[in-house]
Amino acid sequence: MTTRRFRTAVVAFAALTAVGLAGCGGGDGTAEPGAQGSGTGVSGTLTVLAAASLTGSFTTIGKDFEAANPGVRVTFSFAGSSALATQVNQGAPADVFASAAPANMKTVTDAGNGEGSPTTFVRNQLVIAVPKGNPDGVTGLTDLTRPGAKVALCAEQVPCGAAAKKALDAAGVKLTPVTLEQDVKAALAKVKLGEVDAALVYRTDVKAAAADVDGVEFPESAGAVNDYPIIVLRQAPNKAAARAFVAYVLSEPGKNVLAAAGFQAP
């Protein structure tokens, strides 16, 4: 074999070897860079703890993620962010935590229970939820102080409750709610059931329940917008799938689902 033919053969062999190695990539179940949670070869059960206001959008994202990764089964636990943060810090087995406010996420990261730093993936804003057709003619926060008005709020330790307090303080409005709920879905349910005349909830929740309630925008909500952070948990039983799921939430398909639900880009 001539020197030139020998060199050609070596180059061809190297190219074939590189192709073969590339075809074997991802065999350890980890997400390849840029894969965005799609076709990563991850498998097993993935447990996601997420704020109640993410119920609809994350359920859709979970199904899409499973379709892109047939070896994965996604399970969710939706509740108030403060309750979920407590569960994480008490050792509850979970892979991903998505909070409706940085403060609740901070309790998890301060305890050393997050992997790296959280990423803010969406924002959300409060509106006044009223029965369909707005029978009481509510136009702003001051209307909630009318005699006999029954209002539901989230408890202050819950992100929607903390945001409501901030908005009410900014408006100089003081009201006494008839109930304090532990998550935004429970507050909205009070309006849907006719147990209260109004509730301060997220814009996304009103959009999801548009058949039953209307949303009244109010200017003070602009100063009480909540950032939503997400993180892979340090003790995640399925860390590869957790990383792939977070990447999927941050990908264009994930962003599209969240935008359709009414969430704002961070």
Three-state SS for 246? helix
pLDDT digits (tens, 9 = 90+) for 165-174: 999 999 999 9
User: How far is 62 from 142, CA to CA, in rounded Å?
Assistant: 40
pLDDT value for 41: 79
Q: Which residue bears the tokens 């969710």?
A: 76
pLDDT digits (tens, 9 = 90+) for 200-251: 999 999 999 999 999 999 999 999 999 999 999 999 999 999 999 999 999 9
Q: Report the mean per-residue pLDDT for the chain.
A: 88
Give yes or no for residue 42 having a pLDDT over 60: yes
3-state DSSP of 48-110: EEEEHHHHHHHHHHHHHHHHHCCCEEEEEEEECHHHHHHHHHCCCCCCEEECCCHHHHHHHHH
Ranges 31-40, 71-80, 103-112: which has the least confidence: 31-40
| 15: confidence class by pLDDT, cuts 50, 70, 90 | very low
CB 182 within 8 A of CB 154: yes
pLDDT value for 214: 98
| 8: confidence class by pLDDT, cuts 50, 70, 90 | very low
pLDDT value for 198: 98
pLDDT value for 40: 64
Q: Virtual CA dihedral for 262, 204, 130, 212, nearest 10 degrees?
A: 90
pLDDT value for 6: 36
Alpha-helical segments (H) within 99-158? 102-110
pLDDT digits (tens, 9 = 90+) for 46-92: 999 999 999 999 999 999 999 999 999 999 999 999 999 999 999 99
| 39: confidence class by pLDDT, cuts 50, 70, 90 | low
Query: Which tokens is 204 given?
Result: 């996304």
| 21: confidence class by pLDDT, cuts 50, 70, 90 | very low
Q: What domains, with CATH codes, occur in the chain?
A: 44-123+227-260 (3.40.190.10), 126-223 (3.40.190.10)
Cα within 13 Å of Cα(240), Cβ side: 18
The pLDDT of 140-145, averaged and rounded, is 97
The pLDDT of 127-148, averaged and rounded, is 97
User: How far is 197 from 22, CA to CA, in rounded Å?
Assistant: 61
User: pLDDT > 70: what percent of the chain?
Assistant: 85
User: Residue 138 burial (CB < 10 Å; 0-12/13-18/19+)?
Assistant: buried
